[in-house]
Structure formats: C-alpha cells, structure tokens
Structure 1
Amino acid sequence: MRQEKRTPKAKDGKGTSVAERHTVLTGEELTALDAHWRAANYLAVGQIYLMDNALLTEPLRPEHIKPRLLGHWGTSPGLNLVHTHLNRLIRNRDQSMLCVWGPGHGGPAVLANSWLEGTYTETYPDVTRDAAGMNRLFRQFSFPGGVPSHVAPETPGSIHEGGELGYSLAHAYGAALDNPDLLVACVIGDGEAETGPLAGSWHANKFLDPVHDGAVLPILHLNGYKIANPTVLARIPDDELDALLRGYGHEPLYVAGSDPSEVHRALAAALDRAADRITAIQRNARDSRDGSARDGAAYERAAWPMIVLRTPKGWTGPADVDGLPVEGTWRSHQVPLPAVRENPAHLAQLEAWLRSYRPDELFDRDGRPSDQVLTCVPAGTRRLGGTPHANGGLLVRDLPVPPLDDFAVQVDKPGVALHEPTRVLGGLLARIMADTADRRDFRVVGPDETASNRLEALFEATGKAWQAGILPTDEHLARDGRVMEVLSEHLCQGWLEGYLLTGRHGLFSCYEAFVHIVDSMVNQHIKWLKTSRELAWRRPVASLNYLLTSHVWRQDHNGFSHQDPGFVDHVLNKSPDVVRVYLPPDANTLLSVADHVLRSRDYVNVVVAGKQPGFDWLTMDEARAHCARGAGLWKWAGTEDGTREPDAVLACAGDVPTLEIIAAAGLLRRHLPELAIRVVNVVDMTRLMPREEHPHGMTDAEYDDLFTTDKPVIFAYHGYPWLIHRLAYRRTGDANLHVRGYKEMGTTTTPFDMVVRNDLDRYRLVMDVIDRVPGLGVRAADVRQVMEDTRTRHHSWIREHGVDLPEVSDWSWEG
C-alpha cells in the first residue's frame, strides 16, 4: 500500500510547501543519501529479527531468527530518513546539533545510525563496526542482557527516554535554553502529538530568546497510525493542520510522498530552508538587541520554522503479509512478519525484504559501511551520537553557591522569632542567579508561582522569560529572563529535565498538591538517572531539585483540593540510589538543605518547606550540623537529664509537625515535669530506612540509640502516616511507633484546625503520650482531660471568631 503525497496549497508564498522548491542535489549526493538511508533501514530490520547471519552470507534459516520478536518497525524508516538528512545539514554547515527522538520505540533507527557513524563502537568497543559487531548489535536488541527497544540512556546522543510519550518537545526546548549555538531537532510522532504534555509544549516557543538561546526545529512525523488506530493530525484536513501549526507560532514546511528520490530532494530543501530561516531570526535578534532589554512592547516575535514530514508507516517494508496490507497501515507498527521461525513463507519474505536494501552495496565483505554510505556523516563531536550536549556531565560546571551566613537568620533563642523560610531562600537563589548572569547556566521554573512561593527576590537578578506581548501593567517580564513560569507543570518539568541533561543547573518550585501532575515524568527521569549511573561513559549531571511549598498544612484557605502531601510517597517508591527527600523545619535548615541539593549530582531531591511565617529553631551552625546528621536530638526541647532513658520519644518531620511536637513538649514540661521526654527531628526522610536499603539509612544500632527499642515513639509527620511505618517497619521498636499525619481530613478552615482535624495537634500528641507510657494514663487522667477540653474549646472558638485560639496563635517557646 502506497501513500499519496499530500501538501496544502500555498496561501501566501511564504513556505507552506517546499514540494516545488528543491535544493539541488547532485546525482552523487542523492545516491549517497539514499545509500545511508538504506543501510540504516537494513540495520533496523536486522535488530528486530536477526541473531546471526547479519550480512546474509547464506540463505536465512530459522535458527538465524530471534525466538522472541520484539521492536517497532513502523516509525524506523522515517527516523532513519531524518537522521540521514540531519547528517547532511550538520556536515554542510558545521552545525552543532542535538536531536530528541520522540517516537516512543524508535530505538532500532537511532541505534542503527549510531553504529553507522561510529559513536556506538566508540562507546561500546565490543560492538565493532564490522560483521562481528553487526551481529552483536542485532543480537543485543530487545534481548536478555541487551538493550531496550526504545531510545534510552544506553543510546549515545540521547537525552530522551522513548518509553513514554509526550515530553520530547519540552526536552528539546530545555536543551536549547542558554545554548545559543545549538540547534535542537525534535522528531515528534503523530501518536505522541495527541498527548496533553506535547500539546502544551507547542507554546514553548513563546519563551525562547533568539539572542541567548539556541533554536528548536520540530519535525512532526505523520505516518498515519498508532498501535491500532489512525492518528488525529494525520487525518484532519490539511488546511486545518496548517492553521493549527501557524496558530502555535510556526512556519510549517511540508514534505510528503513515498518515492524515495522525491522525498530526499524535498526534505533536503526543507531542512536547508529551515536552517536559513533560523539563522536569519537569530542574526536579526542578536544584531538589534544586546539581550539586556526588559521592555520592548513593540517587539515582533518571529515565526520559527518547523517541518511536517508525511511518509508511509513501515515504509520500504512488506507491502502485504498473508493477503493483508501492511505498509502504510497500523499493521507495520511493531513486527510486520510475526511468525518467521515457524512460517517458511514469512522467512522467505523477510529475506527478500532485507535483500531489497542491497546490503552488498552498503557494506564491504568484512561488514564495514562503504565510503558512499558514510559520505554525509559528520565527524567527531558533530555526530549526533557524539555531541557532548547529550552527555551533560561533560559540560556541567560547579554552581557558585554563596556562603550561607550571608542569608542566615539570627536565632538568639529557639521558637521566638519567625521568618518565611522560602523568602529567606529566595535571597540565596537571587545571588546565584546574579552570579551566573554571564555563564547563564541556572534557571528556576514553576507554574506561575514564583512570587506566591515567596521567591520574588529572584526578580532583582533576572526577569521572567517572555517573548510574547508586554503591557505597561506587566511586572518582571523580560526577553532574556531566566525565571520561567507557565501554567503547565509538564512543560516546567520537561524544560528543566532538558536543561539539566545538557549540563546546566535548576530548581522547580511548585505547590505541593499539584506537583503530582508530573508523577509520570519524574518516574522516567529517575529511571534515566538510575541507568545512567550504571554507564561509565555517562557523566553525572546536576540533580533535579524540587521545592514543594504552599503545602498541605498551610493550604487552609484554598481548601481540600489543594491539600495533598503524597508526592514524597511517590518518590520514595523509586530507586534509593537516586532519590532524596528533605523536610527542613525552619529557615536556616532550608538554607543548609538548599546548599546541599544545589551542589549535588545525579539525584532527584525533593525539599518540602513552608512559605508562611514559621519559628526559627536553629542557628546556622546548628542547622548545618543537624542537616548533616539528617536526624537528631533537640536536647533543648526535651526533658532528659542524662540519668535515665526517656519515658517517651516525640519525633517530627516537617515544619508544622515540628511546631506541634515542640508545643506538645512544652505542655508536657509544664503539666508532667517528672516525665523524661526526648525530642527527635528528622530532616532527611531516607535516614529512617535501613542502611541496607538506602545509602543514607541508619544502621539498626543508630536507629535504636535515637528512637530506643522499647519506649513509645509519637511521630508527627508532614504527610501520610503510613509512609513512616513503611520506612521503619523492620526496626526493633516498630511496634512502639505511633504516627500522626495527614489523613485526608481537609477543608477551608483555620491553620490550627487543619492539624486538629487530622489529630496532629499538640493536645492530641500529649494525649498520645499519656495513653502510651505504661502506668501514666491513671496518674495523668486530669491532664488528658484538660487536653481534650482544649480541643473541644477550639472547635467552638473558631466557629465564633474565625481565628485560632489565642494560646495557639500567640504561642512561643518558653523552655
């Protein structure tokens, strides 16, 4: 089945179609391009099917075929075509380029091209660029002990995990930010184009500064089908598609057809035209603006070029199998010939398919690619598989984090003065932003919440990136800004991932409840980092750092919809080698944690901190020591005298739980002074895990020394209580552990009522101690009743006055 060429009619002569405007390819160039494409196609098919006889030096036999046929053919010929022509563009223009391969399982194509250009052999010397290496390349694909069927960390030149769709364009734009000489090509499959994250990513061009940033060239590959259904953008009318893409701010160039020679000429023309247009946009912007202008209401944003490539799915593969059409249909999506070992007709058809590429013209007797195949392949780091931008650890520089004492708050006595922790952090981030003004390798992203999260000091150092219109009433918008706000958590995450993986630093600030929107994306990034750490050639990159604020205990005004602390649970399910979670209880500990995570490499760090005024507990020196321990005693808050073991342990993790535990300790000190109470604060949640399960985990001896083996532990935790039980379930004293936390009792109410509703309040915590210390219940029945009565009085008070009890709102530490 052959697909006819479809190109929209030109409306204004400005590039709707390039079908009649071909770059003039000589016959020799055309032959070389086609040879490279055929070689890549041959290698892609071989990876899916063959485990031996790679060069077809003898007729195919069943034992040459893999017992399990896995992989995706349908998208591979289109990706091979794009790779072939990007090679030509790079070589002709000496262009620094990175390509993000969006179609999910296009691994055969990208691996094939990496092997042809030599970067695969340089990375994996045992996969030589000859017949033996070709056999190894084929056998390892989707094979036990081998490599995945999609583009993955193991793939040279890749920064994009192809196993999940929707994120390619956001990654591409993230890679282009602050990379002024880099052109990032991004192949978008038409199945991927149906996802929400990809649809939102088209707006990224409104944030790309042509002065300081590189360029992104989207290549929308329309081959018509997903696994079993047609794709939307391949089936809507051409004029509708054209209007959509122009509405997104692009100048689309169309290439379509099924005749290889015609498509080669048209694609070469489209890429040349796109590259010329990109160069012109950048030159005009860089000649007319020094990059420091922050006004510019009359600024006219250019329409960046993009390419729409329409070719048959499974192009050059079997036209039909068992009487059913395959090429150009959904049947070519994965393995077009499914029963090659068992069906002699399929085996014969596979051999004919492979020989149709004329491998004897493409490889010499030893299996090495011919000179003609390699004519357009660039050299060295210009090769797509060899670009250092895809191995960002080669480029990353240490972030200049200034001395913390410059920003620390003074603490003369714990629990008296208050500060907004994230506002304090904002000063540190602003200094970093200023100190990286020339090198431009630090960005802060977030969904329209930088000022809301009290980080507005950043705007003293930079503006918010913005390339659309600017009105006199706008604040902090800047063409060259390095704070990026867009109301799409997906786009923020994708930008930052692309930025980090290409060698820069950043921070993602988000409301805690809504960071769940990127649950799936952080999964993929964690898996990427875990695999990358196992590859010696992948150099460590800056960590992905989340600052989660506007959190569950201070979303009392927004209500139940804004109250969800579960992202921590989600992250701690993942590889312990990669994930870290920190809950600093005050401003100085937040500074110390930020200093650590911003300097770290190859982690996903989640930091949960409040933006509302909170008590200062520790001096800067104390905060450094406490954060280095990750968990420790706050002796000043307890009543231990060192002569006996504590009667109970009050533990906490998180700013509001810390406040409630300290307040409970104060109540116990006043009402039950004979009790020996130990107070433990946990900053690093992974400290609760066994050392055998996490590198930050405590040994059993360390845990027992801190929490005891047989005393009741009342643990006030920021999130869902069962996480603490899960982290500590193997410990000796687990049966004595009683955890209070959020249990989905949320509403619009007062701040203290939130903790009361979830039984995390100081009065309930005192009651828990009385209930769990042996023999105390009878002796302290009157104290328990006072606590219960205070909770009852609280309910009546807030309904009458609309604010919390004076003894709560006016509380400070008196110890």
Structure 2
Amino acid sequence: MNEPLSEVPSVAPLSETELALFNRWWHAANYLSVGQIYLMANPLLREPLQLEHTKPRLLGHWGTTPGLNFLWLHLNRIIRARETSVLFIAGPGHGAPGLIASTYLEGTYSEYFPEVSQDLDGLGRLMKQFSFPGGIPSHAAATTPGSIHEGGELGYSLSHAYGAAFDNPDLVVACVIGDGEAETGPLATSWHSNKFVDPATDGAVLPILHLNGYKIANPTILARIAPRELAALLRGYGYDPIFVEGHDPDPMHQKMAAAMDLAFDRIAAIQKAAREDGKTERPAWPMIVLRSPKGWTGPKEIDGLRTEGYWRSHQVPFSDLTHPGHLQALETWLRSYRPDDLFDESGRLFPEIAALAPSGTLRMSANPHANGGQLKRPLRLPDIADYAVAVTSPGHETGESTRVMGEWLRDVMKLNLEARNFRVLSPDENNSNRLNAVLDVTNRAWNAETFDYDDHLARDGHVMEILSEHTCQGWLEGYLLTGRHGFLSCYEAFIHIVDSMVNQHAKWLKTAAEVPWRRSIASLNYLLTSHVWRQDHNGFSHQDPGFIDHVINKKAEFVRVYLPPDANTLLWTTAHCLQSWDRINVIVAGKQPEPQWLGLDDAIRHCEAGIGIWEWASNDKGGTPDVVMACAGDVPTLETLAAVKLLREHAPDLKVRVINVVDLMTLDSPSQHPHGLDDASFDALFTLDRPVIFAFHGYPQLIHKLIYRRANARNFHVHGFREEGSTTTPFDMVVRNHLDRFHLVSNVIDRVPGLATRAAYAKQAIRDKLVDHSRYIAEHGRDLPEIEAWRWS
C-alpha cells in the first residue's frame, strides 16, 4: 500500500549552503505561521512565554501550512533561477498562515500594509491580526497579496488556475491542491481543463497534489489508494506525475528541487515544441505529487495522542493552553524553529535568508496577474446600432433576441481576438442559446482528439464549452481576476449549480473594494436563457427562475439584474454589462422568437432609466390611472400587453398605465441599492393608491421584498412562477402559474373598485377561454391559434 513511486532523479541540486538557507527560510515561514495561530504578543519569544501572550480564541489551520510554505520556497528558487513569472494558487482551505508568512518574508506584505513593518512591532501586528477581530481571515482572501483565489470553499483552485493561464503565454500557475479538496466534484472535473490549453498561446498550469493524508477527522481517499493506482488515475487525466515523498527535511528539499527542475524543464520543452516546432498533439503536462506529513514539523504527540501526521494537526493541534503542559509544549514547538537564527535583534529577517526571495514583480506575492486590475484593458465594442432590429411598430416584428446578441458578440470577439482578452463560455449550450455567430470568427477551444467531421474545434479557440457549470465558472473567474473579460451563458435552471461559487466571488469583490491596492476587474456577466417560461419541451426539471433571488442577496454595490424584453434592449444591456467593472451582472432573456417592442432609440432611452411607462401601450396620459400594469421579463411583457389589449376590448373606459422594468434593482429603495428609484419617482410611476398588477419573470415574493418600503406596496399584486410546471405548451406554462393574460385581466377586474360588476361578462368570457385552452391543448398538443397568432398591432 505504501510502496514508494517516484520519478525524481537521484540528484542533489542544492549545495550544503543552500540547503541550510532553505531550512532557515522554511523554519521562518513555519514559525510565523504558528505564531499567527497562537500569539498576540512576544512575537520572537524574547521573554518566556506567558498565557497573556497568547490569543484567547485559537483559530486557524496548521495541518496544510508547512507544505504550502515548503512549496512556496521551492517555487522561489525556480523563479530566481529562470526569471519565470509564477502565480501561486493555494487550494487547501484555510492555508492563509503560510501564504501570509511567505508574503511577509518577501517584503510584499509590508509594502501593501506598511503598519505591518519589517521589525519587531510589525511581527507583533502580523501575528495578532490573524483570525482576530478587525484582522484578516484564516483563508486566502482579497487581503492576501499574490492571491486570486478565495480559500473559503474547496474545489475551485484548479479551474481558477487554468482560467488564469488561458491567453497568458508567459505565465506558469502553480496550483496546490489539497487531498481533501480533491474529493470535491468541481475539482474532480477540473482535471480535464488540460484538454483546453493551447501550449502555443496559453500559459501553463503546474498542479501540485498535496497528499498529507487527512481531512478534519478522516483519511483522504487519494492518500489511501495504492501509489500505482494514483499514478494511473493522474496519467489517465492526461498528466505526467512526479512524486516527492518523505518526512526528513533535507532529503525532501533535494527531492523537491529536482522535481521542480524536471517539471519546469518539461513545461519549457512542451511550449518550445508547440511555439517553435509546430507540434500539435496534446502533451502530457507535468504535475507534482507531494506526500508529506499532516502538520509537518509540528508536535509529534500531545497528551500521548498522535498529532503530526494525523488529523489532530488539521486545525489547532492543541487549543486549551491552560491545560497542564500545553503552554510549555507551545513554547517548545515555537523555539524548535530557532527564531533567533532567523530574525535579528530588531526583528528583521536575516539578509541571507531574505535573499532567497525573487525581486520586484517576480515575487509571487507581487505578481501583477494576482492583482489583475493592474493589467486590464477595456474591450473594443462595436456600435449596437449596426445590429439593431428595425421595429416599424411595437410588436409587429418578431425575432430571436439572443441570436441578435450573438451577432454582436461575434464582432466583440473579432475586435478583441488579437488582444486575446475575451472569451465566451457555456456548459455545452453556446449554440442552443443562439450564440452560434461567435463561431464565425473563432472556434471552440479543444485539445483532445479531433475527427474530420467535428464542428469548430481548435486548440486556439476562444469559445469554451465543457458540460460543467463549475468549471466554466472557475475558468471565467480566473480569467477575470487576471485582468481579462468574458461572458457566460447558461440554462437558467442550472446556473444554480454555481450558487456557492457566486457567493465566494461576491465576497471577494466586496473585500477587494475595501483593500486600497486592489484594482478593479471586469464584471462577471451571465446570460440566463432557455428560461422558465420557454422550457415546455424539457419540463418541470428545467423550470426555475430563482438564481436572481440568490444574487440580489449579495451586497448591493456589486450585483445587477436585467430583464430586457426584446432584442434591442438586450443589445444595450449586454454592451452596458461588458463595459462595467466589479459587478455580477445577470441578464435574463429568452431565445425563442418573440415580439420586438422598441426601436433602438426608444430602447436606449428605456434602458438608461431602467424602468419607464410605455406610453404607446397606456391610455392614462393627462390623468390618473385606474390600474397600473407592470411587467419585468420578456414573457411577462408579452402577457401584460395581451392583457391590456383584452382590457381595451372589455373595459374601454378603464385608464391603464403600462410600466416595463429592465433593471430590476430600480424597484429597490435607494437606501438599499444604488440603482433604486427615489420615492418621489417611484410614487409618480406607480401612484400612491392604485392597484398594481405586476407580471414578473421569477418568484413573486422577490418583488414584494424589493418594494415593501414603498408607499403603495400594499396594492402590489404580483404574478410570477408558482412552482407549477410540466412538459406542456408555452402558453399553458403561464396559465399554470397564473401569469397569463386571462388571469391578469381577472385580477384587474377584482382589484379596480367598481369594475367587477361592470365587467361580469368579461370575467365569464375569460373563464370560458381558459376552459377552451385546456381542452384544445389536450386534443391538439399546441396552443390555440389565436394565442400563437396574437399581435399587439
């Protein structure tokens, strides 16, 4: 079971002098890591350790940290020797003690946070701030120099790494993958990202699988399978693994130095073969497997119980420092690193140790790709006027809105293809979502086997498709965080798969905005199509509009939700989103043929405001409406206008105001969202006391949540998705959820004072029409001809 498997050459790249210095750096990083977990004073133990020197709440994770410190040190050697740009991604959760320690040793941390200076006072602040009120978290975050990876949730490191490497030919991304993290679904899929890398134009990812054997309280799977089985698995993924295994530091330093040399030699050879020799077959990229003890260099036992090399070292190896012997054990552990041999009298790292770090932006903690806003370039965007749908009168023309968007995105791609800073991503749905036109100017990225009958597959393609929402999201995040732009389309119901990834990105944006040296990055842009109201063929499993509910719970400054009702409003919205920074933009638009309502000029005016009265559909100008008919979303807009037309037939004297909402956040209070309408403007639109019948794309509760502070909130009656669905006709979907024109009209009759008695015959006609509808679809399998052929004008 524990049969060693190693491909590392039996060489010793490090001299005795280098080996001694390597151990001193590693000791310094490990010492600072332990100090961050435990200490709030006496940072260099210049006096005997007392209980008051330690933190009252001990938080953090030690187990993975010494391995991260070890790898950072050895990557620094490669960077110095080869002047290679390396981005470090730490996948193991809560590994921040090591990352912070290494960035501090490189001097970068003090440059970004001058109060954490390179002296005794700075060391004290460094240690106290960790997992302390007002301080920094125990995982990598936007406050961590050199990081693009939010370490609060496991599974996304490798997809982030590949996203960073795409279109970055001079970058190597070293991605450390924890063996616990390797058990997550997103990580397991992201191994296949190597089939999408073009060695001629992309950078390289060096995965480093860190096998330290344990999670919080259990063994890890990959550490407990036979080494040859593990090697076969990794080779099956398309990698060429290099194994580094052991416990004793000196041999391990020599093995890792040799392994790093071998890995970077292989990367250089692969890239040379592709870039200079034109070699096209997919290479087996190198990766490193590091097998080292959990909590390496920590206490072997505590209270007679195994600690190093076991799950007990995963977090804080021992936390009750009032327990007899524990405070002494902590001091013995800290002093085992010989801090006086690492830091001088003033608390500064000895210069011969500091010299192991690269200089300037070659330091991983100062790599500009880790602060991608420094590298960002605005996209070149074509004029949306060249793609606009001509609308002779509202509702007269029909069109597929996302197909029009796809033609515009095609030329966005064309204008930015040479700059290689824009990609379109989708989980196998690019064409299904009507964005086919993008393939006119680029191909799908693909570096696996290709047949002569394959469609638009090429190594250098900029359309990214893999049937994994997690991987698409991770690629895009890595791409954006390193200074580029992208656009992700997805079926609406299944974007929920990345809910927690959106959480993490939203938290990153919020934290980054509070860090002065973090620069803005391009927005995370979603198109959600194949949506709830046009999933009649796939049925109930594909019917869920709740992602927008999830998104608006995030911090208001960073989220936007748009519901353009036609192609021209979709064009404006997409162009607007691609020009924005530091946002999560969600656009919901259907891909089926639908009426086109607004010419481009009207669409621009409407979208600039985000909400407005459609005068051509209203008849209350110069007076007060009897009812406000509001809508948000393409299908709700269609049904609202059909309802208004019915009202004109059955209640011609009724004064109706039609309001369409494109920017959903305009409904919110301005105290809660920067796009929220002020109260006076909101009241002018929706009145203070008239009924508002609101047809909404999503769950009705969301509108009530947004408008509950408004003066007329009690008179809002919202129709939306009621969790009723099936494999049925398009119109039956809206009928089942009471979003259809007939239910909307019925609600108007019920809500407008005095209308019920005057419109009794209309209500009976509506009831009869719904009966006719049910009978017709049951017999013919399609909607009533008058529904299918309906037009506004």
- TM-score, normalized by length of structure 1? 0.96
1:222-268 Cα shifts (integer Å, max 9, x gaps): 00000000000000111110100000000000001110001000000
Taking the TM superposition and a 5 Å limit, the aligned residue runs for 1:483-498 are 483-498=463-478
Alpha-carbon distance change, 413 to 289 in structure 1, aligned in 2, over 3 angstroms: farther
Does structure 2 retain, via aligned residues, the 8 Å contact 1:579–1:605?
yes
1:37-88 Cα shifts (integer Å, max 9, x gaps): 1100000000000000001110001110111101111111000000111111
Structure 2 match to 1:359: 339
Task: Tell me whether 1:461 sits opposite 2:451 in the alignment.
Answer: no
Letter in 1 for 2:258: A
Task: Tell me whether 1:331 sits opposite 2:312 in the alignment.
Answer: yes
Structure 2 match to 1:786: 765
Task: Tell me whether 1:539 sits opposite 2:519 in the alignment.
Answer: yes
Structure 2 match to 1:740: 719
1:724-751 Cα shifts (integer Å, max 9, x gaps): 1111111111110000011111001111
Partner of residue 675 from structure 2, selected from 683, 696, 704: 696
Structure 2 CA distance for aligned equivalents of residues 512 and 611 of structure 1: 12
Quick check: 367-376 or 267-276, which moved more? 367-376
Structure 2 match to 1:86: 75
**2:101 partner SS:** helix
Task: Tell me whether 1:529 sits opposite 2:515 in the alignment.
Answer: no
Structure 2 match to 1:611: 591
Structure 2 match to 1:254: 243
Structure 1 match to 2:568: 588
1:726-784 Cα shifts (integer Å, max 9, x gaps): 11111111110000011111001111111011111011111111110001000110111
Alpha-carbon deviation of 1:344? 4.5
Letter in 2 for 1:458: V
Structure 1 match to 2:175: 186
Letter in 2 for 1:244: L
Structure 2 CA distance for aligned equivalents of residues 205 and 252 of structure 1: 14
Does structure 1 retain, via aligned residues, the 8 Å contact 2:563–2:589?
yes
Does structure 2 retain, via aligned residues, the 8 Å contact 1:39–1:373?
no
Question: Which runs of 4 or more aligned residues in structure 1 lie more than 4 Å from their structure 2 counterparts after TM superposition?
Answer: none
Alpha-carbon deviation of 1:5? 8.0
Does structure 1 retain, via aligned residues, the 8 Å contact 2:776–2:783?
yes
Structure 2 CA distance for aligned equivalents of residues 343 and 741 of structure 1: 60
Alpha-carbon deviation of 1:705? 0.8
Structure 1 match to 2:647: 668
1:453-498 Cα shifts (integer Å, max 9, x gaps): 0000000110000000111221111110000000000000000000
Taking the TM superposition and a 5 Å limit, the aligned residue runs for 1:505-520 are 505-520=485-500
- TM-score, normalized by length of structure 2? 0.99
Letter in 2 for 1:492: C
Does structure 2 retain, via aligned residues, the 8 Å contact 1:251–1:305?
yes
**1:509 partner SS:** strand
Alpha-carbon deviation of 1:6? 5.3
**2:488 partner SS:** strand
Letter in 2 for 1:474: D
Structure 2 match to 1:296: none
Does structure 2 retain, via aligned residues, the 8 Å contact 1:6–1:256?
no
Taking the TM superposition and a 5 Å limit, the aligned residue runs for 1:265-664 are 265-289=254-278, 299-340=280-321, 342-642=322-622, 644-664=623-643
Letter in 2 for 1:713: V
Structure 2 match to 1:154: 143
Structure 1 CA distance for aligned equivalents of residues 616 and 562 of structure 2: 22
Structure 2 CA distance for aligned equivalents of residues 502 and 282 of structure 1: 21
Task: Tell me whether 1:34 sits opposite 2:31 in the alignment.
Answer: no
**2:351 partner SS:** coil
Structure 2 CA distance for aligned equivalents of residues 595 and 620 of structure 1: 13
Alpha-carbon deviation of 1:559? 0.6
Alpha-carbon deviation of 1:372? 2.4
Q: How many residues align?
A: 793
Alpha-carbon deviation of 1:701? 1.4
Structure 1 CA distance for aligned equivalents of residues 779 and 52 of structure 2: 83
Task: Tell me whether 1:47 sits opposite 2:36 in the alignment.
Answer: yes
> Is there any run of 5+ residues in structure 1 with no aligned partner, and where?
9-15, 291-298
**1:253 partner SS:** strand
Structure 1 match to 2:202: 213
Alpha-carbon distance change, 585 to 676 in structure 1, aligned in 2, over 3 angstroms: same
Structure 1 match to 2:164: 175
Structure 1 match to 2:4: 7
Letter in 2 for 1:786: A
Structure 2 CA distance for aligned equivalents of residues 42 and 193 of structure 1: 28
Taking the TM superposition and a 5 Å limit, the aligned residue runs for 1:61-72 are 61-72=50-61
Identity %: 62
Taking the TM superposition and a 5 Å limit, the aligned residue runs for 1:691-730 are 691-730=670-709
* CA RMSD after TM alignment: 1.0
Letter in 1 for 2:286: P
Taking the TM superposition and a 5 Å limit, the aligned residue runs for 1:103-252 are 103-252=92-241
Alpha-carbon deviation of 1:337? 2.1
Letter in 2 for 1:810: A
**1:444 partner SS:** strand
1:72-109 Cα shifts (integer Å, max 9, x gaps): 11111000000111111111100011011000000100
Quick check: 650-659 or 784-793, which moved more? 784-793
1:136-190 Cα shifts (integer Å, max 9, x gaps): 0000000000000111110000000111000000000000000000000000000
Partner of residue 764 from structure 1, selected from 743, 747, 750: 743
1:482-526 Cα shifts (integer Å, max 9, x gaps): 000000000000000000000000001100011010011111001
Alpha-carbon deviation of 1:696? 0.5
**2:364 partner SS:** coil
Partner of residue 7 from structure 2, selected from 7, 13, 17: 17
Structure 2 CA distance for aligned equivalents of residues 302 and 662 of structure 1: 57
**2:147 partner SS:** coil
Structure 1 CA distance for aligned equivalents of residues 458 and 402 of structure 2: 23
> Is there any run of 5+ residues in structure 2 with no aligned partner, and where?
none
Alpha-carbon deviation of 1:22? 2.6
1:101-125 Cα shifts (integer Å, max 9, x gaps): 0000001000000100011000001
Structure 1 CA distance for aligned equivalents of residues 309 and 136 of structure 2: 28
Structure 2 CA distance for aligned equivalents of residues 307 and 506 of structure 1: 30
Structure 2 CA distance for aligned equivalents of residues 729 and 6 of structure 1: 66
Structure 2 CA distance for aligned equivalents of residues 421 and 288 of structure 1: 44
Letter in 2 for 1:533: A
**1:288 partner SS:** coil
